[in-house]
A = this chain, B = another copy of it.
Amino acid sequence: MKQSQLFTKTRKEAPADEQSLNAQLLVRAGFVHKEMAGVYAYLPLGIRVLEKIKKIIREEMDAVGGKELIMTSMQRKELWERTDRWDDENVDVWFKSALKNGADIGFAWSHEEPITDMMKNYIQSYKDLPVFVYQFQTKLRNELRAKSGIMRGREFVMKDLYSYCIDEQQHKSFYNSVIEAYLRVFERVELGDHTFLTFASGGAFTQFSHEFQTITEAGEDIVYLDRKKKLAINSEVLTDEVLNQLNVKREDLEEIKTSEVGNIFNFGTKKCEQLGLSFINEEGKEQFVHLGSYGIGITRLMGVIVEHFADERGMVWPVSVAPFDVHLISLCKDEAEKKQADELYEKLQTNGIDILYDDRDLRAGEKFADSDLIGIPKRIIISSKTLAENSVEVKMRDEEESVLVKIEDILRK
**Chain A residues proximal to chain B, CB less than 8 Å:** 1, 5-9, 30, 33, 35-36, 39-44, 46-47, 65, 67-76, 95-97, 99-100, 105, 107, 114, 118-119, 121-123, 128, 131, 133, 138, 140, 142-144, 154-155
Contacts and interface: CB of A to CB of B under 8 A. Distances in A.
A70 to B, nearest CB: 5
A154 B128 CA distance: 32
Contacts of A143: 100
A74 B140 contact: yes
Contact of A70 (B6, B41, B114, B144): B41
A143 B96 CA distance: 17
Contacts of A72: 35, 39-41, 155
Contacts of A6: 67
21 contacts: A5-B67, A6-B67, A7-B67, A7-B128, A9-B121, A30-B122, A35-B72, A35-B114, A36-B74, A36-B105, A41-B118, A42-B69, A47-B70, A73-B73, A74-B154, A95-B107, A96-B97, A97-B142, A99-B142, A100-B143, A100-B144
Contacts of A35: 71-72, 74-76, 114
Given A97-B96, A118-B41, A7 B71 contact: no
Most B CB atoms within 10 A — which of A96, A97, A138, A143?
A97
Nearest to A130: B7
Nearest to A7: B131
A97 B95 contact: yes
A140 B72 CA distance: 11
B122 A7 contact: yes
A41 B67 contact: no
A68 B96 contact: no
Given A97-B97, A107-B97, A121 B33 contact: yes
Contacts of A133: 7
A70 B96 contact: no
A370 to B, nearest CB: 14
Contact of A47 (B30, B39, B68, B123): B68
A70 B71 CA distance: 19
Nearest to A71: B41
Most B CB atoms within 10 A — which of A9, A76, A99, A142?
A99
A70 B97 contact: no
Contacts of A105: 36, 95
A76 B34 CA distance: 11
Contacts of A7: 67, 119, 122-123, 128, 131, 133
B44 A122 contact: no
A379 to B, nearest CB: 22
A121 B35 CA distance: 12
Contacts of A123: 7
A95 B155 CA distance: 15
Given A35-B72, A42-B69, A73-B155, 13 more contacts: A7-B123, A7-B128, A9-B121, A33-B118, A35-B74, A39-B74, A41-B118, A43-B69, A44-B67, A47-B69, A74-B154, A97-B142, A107-B107
A74 B155 contact: yes
A216 to B, nearest CB: 25
A154 B75 CA distance: 12
A224 to B, nearest CB: 31
Nearest to A44: B67
A155 B68 CA distance: 19
Contacts of A43: 69
**Shortest beta-carbon contacts, A-B, top 6:** A7-B131, A95-B97, A35-B72, A41-B71, A44-B67, A39-B74
